[in-house]
Amino acid sequence: MRNIKAGIVGGAGYTGGETIRLLINHPNVELTFVHSRSNAGNLLLDVHADLAGETELKFTDTLQPVDVIFLCLGHGESKKFLLENSIADSTAVIDLSQDFRLGDSLPGRTFVYGLPELNKEAIQQTKNLANPGCFATAIELGLLPLAKPGLLKEVYTTGITGATGAGQKLQNTMHINWRANNISAYKTLTHQHIKEITQSVKQIQPGFSGAINFVPWRGDFTRGIFVSSIVETDKPLDELKKIYRDFYHGQPFTIVSDATLDLKQVVNTNKCIINLEKEGNKLVVHSAIDNLLKGASGQAVQNMNIMFGFDERAGLRLKATVF
């Protein structure tokens, strides 16, 4: 199987850095360029110091011919970049922003929503992919098995995310004196990923008319997302577990576990681990991911693997931090 050439646009941020780390160790990829206007000419390791000894590649402000481009830009910037730059139709585009997740397109480019557990066949056939959001990924993977048999009504979900979920832009809630030993809710019931989640649920349960009542929290840790979603159902727990295991059969990164779930099981991996608990007619679905990997760069590389016919796990056999 031939190797491919890849480029990254927006390589100085958290998702850009994670994508660099994954691609320079990918068995089927040559990382050809990393674009950054503000860092052009600087070594990658001048920004990402952990890359010392890994690469001598420098940031550039020009584009080169490649097979796939990862857009690791801020929301609203990806669409602008594609309009302002000429990219060959044969080049695959994987966008990590929210610009194309809700069906927006550009002349000649129609984007597929890149949740592999939902749209794998479409991902195999597309050249343009909208990578899902981090909270959206964790919540959708927790809910979609219930949507397939039409079991979803009203959903109440709470999720907590690490500081890297806010990006690198300086803000008061990123200051260590504020973040340490502290948590807070934000964007209560208005988070931008609610529309994305609802769209995916309706894709397989068209009659869904309930609300996704989502309260996100900022956590006192650097990375990871832990979500708990509550839904009503009369089905017994053993039957629900079978529904989940059947839905995720053959999906290498989504695991349904009987054991109590904790965040360190998934941090530094591309996994989503799901655990179910039930009391009366209330089902609680716990789901956990690393927001920078399965919630961003890892899922983007997983999508690239599917698009180019590589082993879906290539470059993503990562060890959880655990300790």
The catalytic residues are 134
What CA–CA distance (Å, rounded) separates 291 from 185? 17
3-state class (DSSP) for residue 154:
coil
Buried b (16+ CB within 10 A) or exposed e, 161-176: bbbbbbeeeeeeeeee
Question: How far out from the chain centre does Cα 194 lie?
Answer: 15
Structure tokens at 138: 């964790």
What the block records as the tokens of 159 is 């999720």
Helix (H, G, I), strand (E, B) or coil at 210: coil
Q: Is 194 helix (H, G, I), strand (E, B) or coil?
A: helix
Distance (Å, rounded) from C-alpha 323 to C-alpha 321? 6
Q: Would you say 235 and 151 are in contact if contact means Cβ atoms under 8 Å apart?
A: yes
| Angstrom distance (rounded) from CA 112 to CA 322 | 34
Which run of H or of E encompasses 242? helix 237-247
Find how far residue 65's CA is from the centre of its chain: 26
Please give the angle made by the CA atoms of 125, 274 and 299, to the nearest 5 degrees. Answer: 35
